[in-house]
Amino acid sequence: MTMVPTVCASTTQRSIVLLSFATFSSMASQRICDAMLPELSRQFDVGLAQAAQVVSVFAVVYGVLQLFYGPLGDRLGKFRIIAWATLGCSIGNLVGVFASSLEMLLLSRALVAMGAAAIIPLTLAWLGDVADPAKQQETIARVGLGTALGMGGGQFLGGVLTDTVGWRWAFGLLAVLFCVVGMLLLREWHVQSAQLQSGPVRRDAPVLAVTGFGRQARAIFADSWARTILAIALVEGAAGFGMLAIWASHLHRDMQFSLAVAGAVVALFGVGGVLYMATARHLIRRLRQPQLVVLGVSLALGAALLIAWTPYRWLTVPASLVVGFGFFCFHNVMQANAAQMAPAARGTAVSLFAASLFLGQSLGVWLAAGFADRFGGGVVITVGSAVLFALGLFVARALGRHQRLNRQR
C-alpha cells in the first residue's frame, strides 16, 4: 500500500471546526430567501412562483456545478477548493446588496451558488478521506451541526432582517461572513500544506490514480447501490427541500404570521437538526441505519401535517422542531452512505449526490410554489411530507437489503 503524509490530529480537529463555519455559511445562503419570498413578490410586483426563482435558480446552479467541483477537488485538493469557493461567495452576496431588479437578484443568487456548491459536498468528501471509518457517521454529524444551524439561521435572519431593516442587509451580512470564514480557511490550508510536506506518513490511505470525470462517473453509475443513492437524493431534494422553501410563505399567508415570526418558526427546523446532531452519537450506537430512517420520516410526517392543518398557531413551534429533528435523522444516514459509495472517487461521488439533491430541490421548489399559489401551502406541505415518508420506508428496506448483502460477501 502506498504511503502518504498526513496532518496532525489537532489540525484536523481545528479544520473540522472551520469547515462547520463554512457549511453554516453555505446553508444559510441557501435558505436566506425562504422567508423573503412574500416581500420580494411585493417589491418586484411578481407572483410567488416567480419570486421563488431566487431559490430554484440557486438550486439549479448549485446542482450543475457539482459536476465541476467533484473532479476538481479530487485533482487539486478538496480543502483548498473549499477555501477559495467560500471567499468567492462574498462577491455574489455583494451583488445582491445592490440588486435593483429581480433579474439582478437572480444573478446574485447564481454567483453565490457557484461558490457555495463546493463547500458542503467537498467537506463531506474531505471527511471521508480523513475520518476514522468506524466513526465516520458521527464525524459527519458534527460538521452537520454547522449545516443545521445554517439552515435555521438563514431562515431566521431572512425573516427578521426583511421585516426590520430590509432584505438587502441579509446579503450584506452573508458577504462579511463568507469573507471572514474564507480567510480563516485559506490560512488553515497553508498550515495543512506545511504539515503534509514535513509530517509523518500514513500507511492506511492509498494514493488513488486520478482519472477523468467521465470515467469516474461511469464507474459510479455502473454500481447499482450508487444509482439507488443518487435517485433517492433526487426525490429527497424535491420533497424535503421543496416543502421547506414554501413553509414560511404558508405561515405568513395562510396563518397570518409576520415575516419575522414566520422565519423564526421555520428556523426551528434547523434547531431540530442541531438537537439531532447533539444526540447523534447515542442514536447511531443504539439504532441501525434503517431504524433511524424510519424514526426520522415518521416524526417528520406527523409534525408536518400538524403545521399544515392545525388551527392553533402555537403548535407550529414544537412541530417545526420535530420536523427538523426527523429530517436530519434521515439526511445524515444518506450523507454517510453517499460518502462511502465510491471511495476511489469520493469527491466526484459526493458531488454527484449533491447534484441530485439540489436538482431535485429545484424541481421541488418550482412545483411547490406553483401549487401553493393554486391550492395553498398546507396542501404542498402535506404532499411533500407524505412523499418523504414513503421514500424513507423504501430507503429503510433498501439499506437493510444492502447491509445483508455486504455481510454475506
Mean pLDDT of 168-174: 96
pLDDT at residue 300 greater than cutoff 90:
yes
What is the per-residue pLDDT across 7-39, written as a single tens digit (0 to 9) for each?
555 567 788 889 999 999 999 998 899 889 889
Task: From 279, 209, 204, 295, select the one nearest 4 (Cα to Cα).
Answer: 204
Instruction: Give the distance between the most distant pair of CA atoms in the chain.
Output: 64
pLDDT at 201: 43
Q: Which residue has the higher pLDDT, 261 or 341?
A: 261
pLDDT at residue 202 greater than cutoff 50:
no
> How far apart are alpha carbons 392 and 380 in whole angstroms?
18
Domains (range + CATH), the chain: 9-196+213-403 (1.20.1250.20)
pLDDT at 1: 37
pLDDT at 92: 95
Mean pLDDT of 337-364: 82
Mean pLDDT of 81-103: 95
Residues belonging to the chain: 409
pLDDT at 199: 53
Helix (H, G, I), strand (E, B) or coil at 5: strand
Helix (H, G, I), strand (E, B) or coil at 255: coil
- Which residues touch 208 (CB under 8 Å, ≥6 apart)? 344, 345
pLDDT at 72: 83
How much is the pTM? 0.73
pLDDT at 252: 87
- Which residues touch 122 (CB under 8 Å, ≥6 apart)? 69, 70, 73, 78, 79, 81, 82, 347, 350, 351
- Residue 77 region by backbone torsions, left for phi larger than 0, else alpha for psi between -120 and 50, else beta: left
> How far apart are alpha carbons 320 and 385 in whole angstroms?
13
Average pLDDT, the chain: 85
pLDDT at residue 130 greater than cutoff 80:
no
How many C-beta neighbours within 10 Å does residue 321 have?
22
Torsional sign, CA 49, 52, 57, 63: negative
Q: Which residue has the higher pLDDT, 273 or 387?
A: 387
Q: Which residue has the higher pLDDT, 3 or 193?
A: 193
pLDDT at 230: 94
Helix (H, G, I), strand (E, B) or coil at 361: helix
pLDDT at residue 237 greater than cutoff 80:
yes
Return the H-helix or E-strand segment holding 4.
strand 4-5
- Among the residue ranges 162-166, 349-353, 371-375, 405-409, the one predicted with the least confidence is 405-409
Mean pLDDT of 83-91: 95
* Side-chain-side CA neighbours of residue 244 (13 Å): 33
Q: Which regions of 168-315 does DSSP assign to beta strands (E)?
A: 201-202
